[in-house]
Structure 1
Amino acid sequence: MTDETAGTPASPPPSPWERERPAPARVAPAREPLSRERVVDAAFTVLDRQGLDGLSMRQVAAEAGVAVSALYAHVSSKDDLLELMYARLFAGFAMPVPDPERWREQVRDYARSWRHLLLAHRDMARISMAHVPFTAELLPHVEALLAVFRTAGLPDRIAAEAGDLISTYIDGFVLEEGMWRDRAALQAGDKSSLARPDWREMAGEMQNYFASLPEQDFPHLRALAGLMVTDSADERFDIGLEIILRGLASYLPSPSV
């Protein structure tokens, strides 16, 4: 007998000894073993969705699909997890070879790159400001930044403070950006959003307000109204960074005549 539709021999009915045979069990795909890297990945997902205040070990475990107790085989505490997340940002971050002729350019590149890394994840500036970067993973980066300042010729006292000054500026600037971003998301009715605020609209409103102030009471605010707030966070960051760099440069020894 043939299967007229398919044009091939029809399948015979199952034999008696096969009828009671159970159907083949469905084998679920093997789950990727939990690792420290998976825990950190899950933590970043939770951080971006809920922010630092919503980041808990329970939420991270749920995101990774494991029991909370399973996390502690890879991280000792939430603070330990935050330090691992902070160190992850530096993975692949190459520090420049100190060049005394280009030190300001090297610091600019470092600061801009570090700002963009912090902006890549919600509330990372808060995490950065809460953790001293003197861990085994991060010490080489601290060493390299200090080498840029000392090779440029800055006095040791100034070089020692310069690294902290630059880091504090970057963290503080990004923290402010994050606060405005959260405010914009709240106004949009989406607390989990990473939407950017409309800087151009905000700048225009503030400039108009400063320009409307009584001149006899606020002559300088009125005179600088068009310059007090720009519509570009990048421009504001670069100007602030330039002020710091020029201040540091003033400590360089005067060239011999």
Structure 2
Amino acid sequence: MNDPAADVPALPPPSPWERERPARARVAPAREPLSRERVVDAAFTVLDRQGLDGLSMRQVATELGTAVSALYAHVSSKDDLLELMYTRLFDSFEIPEPDPGRWREQVRDYARAWRHCLRSHRDMARISMAHVPFTAELLPHVEALLAVFRTAGLPDRIAAEAGDLLSTYIEGFVLEEGMWQDRAALHSGEGSSLARPDWREMAGEMQNYFASLPAEDFPHLRAMAGVMVTDSSDERFDTGLEIILRGLATYLPSPPV
């Protein structure tokens, strides 16, 4: 009986240089060093996945594959981390040079851009409402917005209140949007506030309800059923913003006759 192994040629002995070459060490892939930027990035990932109530230093550490204690070399506390996340939103946020002839358009662009920033991450409106932009990094943004108001001719007292009024409106609007998203997600069983509710369907249901109310008891709600709720969140936002802008415009000095 033939041995199959006998027909297989033997391997040649190792060459001299192979014998002299040391065995190749197994090199573990280099780990990216922990930094403040990576901690903030991981915090946003956790925030988008679990919401503000689920954001913790432990969860951020798990996301980074490190110990909680390692985070404290870069952030002092969870509050510090939230402030860094809030500040991060302003990184690409710019206000143009004030133009008194276009101040309404500039404020309108600012409001829409800030709403977009807050909507870019889950529960960011809640974080924003808990912080004021009076840190050294954010004061230039406050200064730029005040410049738009004052250059337009608004009195100082009104200009001072206008910034806070605008921020409260934007943050409150986005907060409400997030609450409706959470409610829609729970209703659909998805369990994520990133779900988008069907605004058109919801608006239609509410309009039909108002239209069905007894006219003798609710004449105004019934008459306005078609405009009480719109099917566009953007339209609602712009309408509220326009009301604010027109109110501010009444404080401008009257042009000379």
TM-score, with normalisation over the residues of structure 1? 0.92
**Cα drift, residue 24 of structure 1:** 3.3
- Residue matched to 2:255: 255
Q: What amino acid sits opposite 1:203 in the alignment?
A: A
Inter-CA distance 221–26: structure 2 relative to 1 (3 Å threshold): same
How is 1:10-25 mapped onto 2 (pairs within 5 angstroms)? 12-14=12-14, 24-25=24-25
Q: CA RMSD in A?
A: 2.0
Q: What amino acid sits opposite 1:100 in the alignment?
A: P
2:175 is the alignment partner of 1:182: no
2:87 is the alignment partner of 1:82: no
1:24 match: secondary structure: coil
- Residue matched to 1:3: none
**Cα drift, residue 68 of structure 1:** 0.2
Inter-partner Cα distance in structure 1 for 2:213 and 2:26: 74
String of CA shifts for 1:143-165, please: whole Å, max 9, x gaps: 11011000000011100100000
2:238 is the alignment partner of 1:242: no
1:192 match: secondary structure: coil
- Residue matched to 1:5: none
- Residue matched to 2:97: 97
2:97 match: secondary structure: coil
Contact 2:122 2:193 in 1 (8 A): no
Inter-partner Cα distance in structure 1 for 2:117 and 2:210: 33
Inter-partner Cα distance in structure 1 for 2:119 and 2:146: 24
How is 1:192-231 mapped onto 2 (pairs within 5 angstroms)? 192-231=192-231
Contact 2:178 2:193 in 1 (8 A): no
1:134 match: secondary structure: coil
String of CA shifts for 1:89-137, please: whole Å, max 9, x gaps: 0002111100000000000000000001100000000000011111111
Report the number of matched residues: 248
How is 1:3-82 mapped onto 2 (pairs within 5 angstroms)? 12-14=12-14, 24-82=24-82
Inter-CA distance 11–253: structure 2 relative to 1 (3 Å threshold): farther
**Cα drift, residue 65 of structure 1:** 1.1
Question: Structure 1: which 5+ residue stretches go unaligned?
Answer: 1-8
Inter-partner Cα distance in structure 2 for 1:244 and 1:251: 12
- Residue matched to 2:133: 133
- Residue matched to 1:162: 162
- Residue matched to 2:145: 145
2:101 match: secondary structure: coil
2:151 is the alignment partner of 1:114: no
Q: What amino acid sits opposite 2:201 in the alignment?
A: E
Inter-partner Cα distance in structure 2 for 1:85 and 1:246: 33
Inter-partner Cα distance in structure 2 for 1:186 and 1:67: 33
TM-score, with normalisation over the residues of structure 2? 0.92
Inter-partner Cα distance in structure 1 for 2:175 and 2:23: 58
1:102 match: secondary structure: helix
Inter-CA distance 148–140: structure 2 relative to 1 (3 Å threshold): same
Inter-partner Cα distance in structure 2 for 1:201 and 1:10: 77
Inter-partner Cα distance in structure 1 for 2:65 and 2:86: 23
**Cα drift, residue 28 of structure 1:** 1.8
In percent, how many aligned pairs have the same letter? 87
2:12 match: secondary structure: coil
